[in-house]
Structure 1
């Protein structure tokens, strides 16, 4: 990776009822969905956001929320911009600071700094890195971006069991992988998270905002 500093991008939505975790909110209610989003994002930033091995940027939706008061003052923010998930991630790959980039969502409670470090190690020898998800998608994608900034995300069937396979077909060379992790998109996943968080729906130990 040379002297180029790696960048971690965390994709987040404003923690506002009706706009964040809407599928989850249909069964657990909008208040609990917002509470989950706030808790998991705070815990993630606590664990990985200040790590000196990379810079951390929040990519925020909707765009106007990038300047809202939801986010810690110490973390850099940028708007995600328009388009589907692929268009937004491609923009993050193409427009970010020089050097390798890793992108994760904010709804993966298990992410640790070791996962991010492992992804950047993969990018030392591969064009792309992925963290597979249990549903056929992926919770992490990384791009080396040298000597080119590739387009990974053409014709991907998002929110389907084919998302990872579709993305891999766009690559010019084999990708590397880090461990699989599960996101929380439904009530069953939320209940598993609550049990792991001590049964109260709050952050895990050490995950204070």
Structure 2
């Protein structure tokens, strides 16, 4: 069965990406960090065990951007909050297990992704928790219908984002893998 890994990326333009980090270190350094972090991440997770795709934002500019590797398929993130965008990606992926990760997680390695897909053999959903109460990875087995309540009622960018998301899954069997740190602030950048 085909496994799909989707990395969510934004065009690395100053003032449009990593703005919380940019308010602390400057918008140009924040965009530069994101661009180079994403390039490193894509090299790390590009693996023949799964199909790697980019979910791009903004939609039109991201689809034609020369910033991202040309060999990687791109799909638009579309409109709405993070839950709306991830829900569309999870529902619209090719048949088989799918995992979504953010590009601002310096600690992601191939073995984390492999562990997530392995966990989907025994669970319906898998999460990679983040230190701030959110998560850096969400994955679904997708052997049945994706719950209509998926990602509804989640307080994004809060300490309850992971718990809210798990509640939105109803009675699905949920597994967790390693806790990693995302980079939203200068303190996160220093702690990585």
Q: TM-score, normalised by structure 1?
A: 0.88
| SS of residue paired to 2:190 | helix
State the Cα deviation string for residues 102-140 of structure 1 (Å, max 9, x = none).
Answer: 000000000000000000011111110000111111110
Deviation at 1:59, TM superposition (A): 0.1
1:14 to 11, 14, 39: 11
Q: Write the deviation string for residues 129-181 of structure 1: whole angstroms up to 9, x where unpaired.
A: 00011111111000011122234201101010111111111222230011000
Superposed counterparts of 1:43-58, under 5 Å: 43-49=40-46, 51-58=47-54
- Determine the structure 2 residue equivalent to 1:96: 93
Match of 2:57 in 1: 61
In structure 2, list runs of 5 or more residues that go unmatched.
Answer: none
Please give the alpha-carbon distance, in whole angstroms, between the structure 2 residues aligned to 1:39 and 1:28. 16
Task: Say what the alpha-carbon RMSD is for the aligned residues.
Answer: 0.9
- TM-score, normalised to structure 2's length? 0.96
**In the alignment, what sits opposite 1:200?**
none
- Structure 1 segments, 4+ long, off by >3 Å, are none
Aligned residues: 189
In structure 1, stretches of 5+ residues that fail to align are 194-209
